[in-house]
Structure 1
Amino acid sequence: MTTQTRAETQRLGVETTGIEIIEESARTAKPSDLFWPWFAANISVFGISYAAFALQFGISFWQGVLVSVVGITVSFLLCGIIAIAGKRGSAPTMVLSRAAFGVSGQKVPGVISWLTSIGWETFLAITATLATATIFRELGWGGGTGTKIVAALVTAALIVVASVAGYHVIMRLQSWLTWITGVVTVLYIAMTFSHVKWSAVTALPSGSTQQVIGALVLVMTGFGLGWINIAADWSRYQRRDASGASIVWWNTIGGAIAPVILVLYGLLLAGSDKKLMDGISADPVGTLATILPTWVLVPFLIAAILALVSGAVLGIYSSGLTLLSLGVRIPRPSAAFIDGVILTIGTIWVVFFAQDFLGPFQSFLITLGVPLAAWAGIMIGDIWLRRRDYDEEALFDVRGRYGSWDWVSIGLMVLASVVGWGLVINLFADAASWNNWQGYLLGPLGLGGKDGSWAYANLGVLLALVIGLVGTLVLRRGTVRRQEEAA
C-alpha cells in the first residue's frame, strides 16, 4: 500500500495496521475498554439456544446451571490470560504465538486458528439468515429462497464492512450494539417468562457424570474456547503499564456475564418446552422468536442480527490478521475482505444445500476444539513462564531469540491432538461422516468404546488443554528462561 493510499484509507476511518507492532503513541486503551467488544459479541439471544444444546446431553436443570456457570466463566478466564500477551507484545494473538512455536512453527496452530475463526463466523451468519427467514414466515412475509438470499447478502455485507474498517470502528460499534442488543434481550426475557413451567424444569432427570462433562465441554468450546485464539487481538492497543490482572478481569466479566444469564434463562425456557428444545437444533434464533407476540418480531429480528453480526465482526477481523501471520502479503483490509467472501460462500452453501445444520456444527466444534485446546494450553503455559515483555523484533525474525521452529511445542500440540481426538467421538455420524474416525482410544483405555458412556463426555478437549499446559510448564521452562536472558 503506497503512502498516499494509506493516508486516504486512514482518512476514511479504516485501520491500516496489520500484524506489525502497535506504536506506543497508539496504545491508549485501558483494561475496562475490553468489556465492550466481549460483552457486545456475547449478549446475543443465541446464548439462550445453548441451554437446549446442553440439555440434549440428558442432564437436569441444576446440572445445567453448574455446567453453564463453570464452563462459561472458566473458558473466558482462559481468554483473559491469553489477552495478557497482547499487552506484553502489542501484536495479534497468532504473531505472539511465535514466541512459543517459533516464527515459522506458528503456522501450524495458525492454520487451525484461521479455520476455526472462519467456521465460527460463517455459523453466526448462517444463524442470522435462518432467523430472518423464520421470523418473516411468522409475520406472513414469505421467508422462502428470496428472503434467505437477501438476508445472507445483507448479513455478510454488514460483517465485511465493519471488519474491513478495523479496530477503532469496531470498538465504537460494539459499544453501541451493547445497548441495543441488551435492551431487546431484556425485553425478550420479560415477554417470554410466562412460558417457563417450573414443574417441567425440575422434573428433568439427572444425567451421569459423563453426560455432565460432555455438556461442560460443549459449553466451554461454544463460548470462551471458541474465542481464545483471538483474545490478544483486542488487548494489543492496551497501555504497556496496564494491569495484567485488570485485563484478565475485564475480559472475563465482559465475555461471561451475559452468556451466563442467557444460558440460565435458556435452561428454564428449553426445559419447559420439549418442542422448543427440538426446534432450536434446526434454527437456534428463529425458533426462539416463535413464542413472541407478532408486534415485537421486527425489533427482535434486528437486535438478533446485530448481535450475531457483532460476534462475527470480531472473528473476521481476527481471521484476517491470522491470514497475514501465515505469510500472506496483502493489506489488512484486503485480508478481512477475502475472509468475508469465504464467509458469504459458506453461508450460501449451508443455507441452501446442506441437509443438516446442528450436526456438522457440533462435529466441527469438537474436531477443531481439540488442537485449539492444545494450543491454548501451550500458550497459557508460555505466558505463565514469562516475566518480561516480548522481544517484538524477534517475533518477525527466524534468526531471533524465538527461532524458526520450537519442536517441543509442535510435538506437544501433535501429541495432545492425537490423544484428544482419540477420546472424542462424532455425535452425528450420518451428517458428518468425515469425522467417524475419532474415538479410537476409548476402547483400548477401557472407557467402553464408541458406544460406552464415556464416549459422550468428550474428554479429549479437556485432556488436550491439560497436556499442552503441563507439558509446557515442565519441558519449556529452560527455553523460556534462555529466551528472556538473551541479549
Structure 2
Amino acid sequence: MDNDFIKVSENNKTLSPMKLFYNWFAANIGIMGFVYGAIIVTYHLSFFQSITAALIGALTFAIPGWVAMIGKREGVTTFKMSRAAFGTYGNKIPNFMAWLNMVGWLAVNIITGTLLFSSMLKTIHISQNMFTKAVCLLVFAGLVILTGFFKEDTLARIQTWLSWICGILTVMMLVIFLAKANWDAAFAMKSGSWLTGWLPAVAFIVAGSSISWAMSAADWGAYVRSQSRPSSTFWGTTLGAATPLFFLMAGGVMLSTISPSLATASNPYQVMYGAVPGWFGFAYFLVAAIGLVPQCLVSFRSARINLSTIGLEVKQTTSLILHAVIIVLISVYVLFISGNFLSNFELFLNFLGICLASWVAIFLVDSVINRKNGYDVELMKPDSLIHYNWPGIISWAIATVIGFLFTSNTAYRGPFAHGIFENNSSLAVFVSGIVAIIVMFIFYLFTHNTTSKENEV
C-alpha cells in the first residue's frame, strides 16, 4: 500500500484559497444564523455583549481553520490523520462521533425544511396543523431521497446556483431586519454577566458551528493546491465561515427586537416570517428550504463513508434508505411528540459539543506535540500495527466524562453542575476541551520523562 492511498494526489489538489473561502461562505449562510443571534439575546446580554459574543463565537472558526491548514500541509483528510492520535481501531471513536454529528445535522436540516415549508402555507391561506405539517415532512424528506439519485456534478451545479440566490436573498433579509429593528430597545438592553451570560453564549455558538465543522475541515484543506500558502488555507477557512455567520447572528440580535418570541418559539421560522413582507418571505423560505436538499445529500454520503470506516459496509441506496428512516423518526419525535424544535436542538448541541470539543482538542494537541516533523504515513494506514493509541483514547474518555459531570440540560443534570455551571449547559463544552488538553499534556510529560530516563540509562 503506497503513500498515494493515504495522501491526496497532486492531480486532485484543485482548490484555491479563494474557492475554499467560497465553499465555507456558502456552507454557513443558512437561515439558522438568524436563530442563533436571537438565542444569544436570551442569555440576558446587552447589545454590545450580544454583538461581541457573535463576533468571538464566529471567529472560533479559527479551530477548523487550523485543522484545514494541517490537512493542507499533509495532503491527508481528517479521519486518516486521526488514526495517528487514536490508533486504527481507536479511531472508530471519532468516526462514530462524526456519524452522530452527520445524523444529528441531517435531522436538523430535515426539520428546518419541514418548518420552512409549513410556514410558507400561510401565504396561500392554508391552515397549519398536524396534518399539513406531516405532509410538509413527507414532501421535503421525499424530495431529499429522490434527488439522492442525482449525479455529483448535477448536485454541485444546483448547490452553486442556490448558494448565490440564497446569499442575495439573505442580504436582503438582513437589510429588512436592520431597517425594521427597534434600535432604542436594542441599545436599552441591560448588561448581563460576562461569566454566566456572555461566556455560555459564546460556548453555544462554538458548539453549534466551529466545533461541529472541525471534523470535516481537513477534508477540504487536503485538496488545496500545494503551492498555496498554509496561511491562505487558514484564513480562507476561518473568514469564509465566520463572515456570513457573524452578520447573520447580528441580524438575529436585531430581529429579537422585532420579534422577542423568536428564540423560544416552537416554530422560529413562523415568527421570522411575520417580520418580513409576505411575498419576500415566501421566496426566501422556498430557496432556503430547497437549498437544504443538496446539503442533506452530501451529509447522507458522508454518513455512509463514516459507517464504512467504522466497519459497516453498505450500498449507497441501502445507506440512503437506512439514514432516511432514522432521520424521519427523529423528525417525527421533534415535530409531533416533543413539539419544541429549539429545545431539542440545544440539547443536541450540548451533547455533541462535549464529545467533539474533546476530540478536536486531542487532535490539535497531538499534532503540536507529536507531529512536529509531519505525520508518519505508516500510522495512517488502515493496516497500521498501532491499533490503539491509549493517550488519545484515555484523554478523550476522561474529558468527555468530566464534561458531562458539569453539564445541566433538560434531559440530564451532572453532579457538578452548580455555580456558574447551573443552567449553563454550554459551558461544559469548554470544560471538555480544556480537560482534554491538560490530560494530553500530562501523558506527554510522563512519556517524555520516561523516555529521557531510559536514554540516560
- Is the pair's TM-score, using the shorter chain for normalization, greater than 0.5? yes
Matching residue within 213, 217, 228 for 2:199: 213
In angstroms, what is the RMSD of aligned CA positions?
A: 2.8
Matching residue within 115, 136, 141 for 2:100: 115
Equivalent pairs: percent with the same residue?
A: 27
Instruction: Give the corresponding residue for 2:35.
Output: 49
Instruction: Give the corresponding residue for 2:455.
Output: none
Amino acid at match of 1:222: G
Residues 421-436 of structure 1 aligned to structure 2 (within 5 Å): 421-426=404-409, 428=410, 435-436=411-412
Distance of 2:8 and 2:368 partners within structure 1:
23
Residues 217-236 of structure 1 aligned to structure 2 (within 5 Å): 217-236=203-222
Distance of 2:224 and 2:395 partners within structure 1:
31
| Contact preservation (8 Å) 2:207, 2:352 | no
Amino acid at match of 2:199: I
**Higher mean C-alpha displacement, 129-138 vs 372-381:** 129-138
Amino acid at match of 2:309: S
CA 1:169/1:255 → structure 2, altered by over 3 Å: closer, same or farther? Answer: farther
Residues 256-405 of structure 1 aligned to structure 2 (within 5 Å): 256-279=242-265, 282-309=266-293, 311-330=295-314, 335=319, 338-385=322-369, 386-392=371-377, 394-400=379-385, 403-405=386-388
Query: Structure 1 residue 249: deviation in Å?
Result: 0.9
Distance of 2:389 and 2:73 partners within structure 1:
20
Instruction: Give the corresponding residue for 2:422.
Output: 455
Distance of 1:388 and 1:139 partners within structure 2:
62
**Paired residues, number:** 441
Distance of 2:349 and 2:218 partners within structure 1:
21
CA 1:83/1:140 → structure 2, altered by over 3 Å: closer, same or farther? Answer: same
Query: Structure 1 residue 154: deviation in Å?
Result: 4.0
Instruction: Give the corresponding residue for 1:243.
Output: 229
Instruction: Give the corresponding residue for 2:89.
Output: 104
Instruction: Give the corresponding residue for 1:445.
Output: none
Matching residue within 244, 252, 264 for 2:238: 252
| Contact preservation (8 Å) 2:159, 2:291 | no
Ranges in structure 1 where 5+ consecutive residues have no aligned partner = 1-18, 429-434, 443-448, 483-487
3-state SS, counterpart of residue 370 of structure 1: helix
Amino acid at match of 2:34: I
2:402 is aligned with 1:419: yes
CA 1:223/1:355 → structure 2, altered by over 3 Å: closer, same or farther? Answer: same
3-state SS, counterpart of residue 379 of structure 1: helix
Query: Structure 1 residue 33: deviation in Å?
Result: 1.9
3-state SS, counterpart of residue 274 of structure 1: coil
Distance of 2:9 and 2:319 partners within structure 1:
21
| Contact preservation (8 Å) 2:334, 2:344 | no
CA 1:333/1:96 → structure 2, altered by over 3 Å: closer, same or farther? Answer: farther
| Contact preservation (8 Å) 2:14, 2:223 | yes
| Contact preservation (8 Å) 2:116, 2:286 | no
Residues 138-153 of structure 1 aligned to structure 2 (within 5 Å): 138-153=123-138
Instruction: Give the corresponding residue for 1:472.
Output: 440
3-state SS, counterpart of residue 126 of structure 2: coil
2:109 is aligned with 1:124: yes
Instruction: Give the corresponding residue for 1:9.
Output: none
3-state SS, counterpart of residue 224 of structure 2: coil
3-state SS, counterpart of residue 422 of structure 2: helix
CA 1:233/1:166 → structure 2, altered by over 3 Å: closer, same or farther? Answer: farther
| Contact preservation (8 Å) 1:63, 1:206 | yes
3-state SS, counterpart of residue 97 of structure 1: helix
Amino acid at match of 1:211: G
Amino acid at match of 1:139: I
Ranges in structure 2 where 5+ consecutive residues have no aligned partner = 452-457
Distance of 2:135 and 2:23 partners within structure 1:
27
**Higher mean C-alpha displacement, 341-350 vs 221-230:** 341-350
Distance of 1:120 and 1:53 partners within structure 2:
18
Amino acid at match of 1:271: T
Query: Structure 1 residue 105: deviation in Å?
Result: 0.2
Instruction: Give the corresponding residue for 1:15.
Output: none
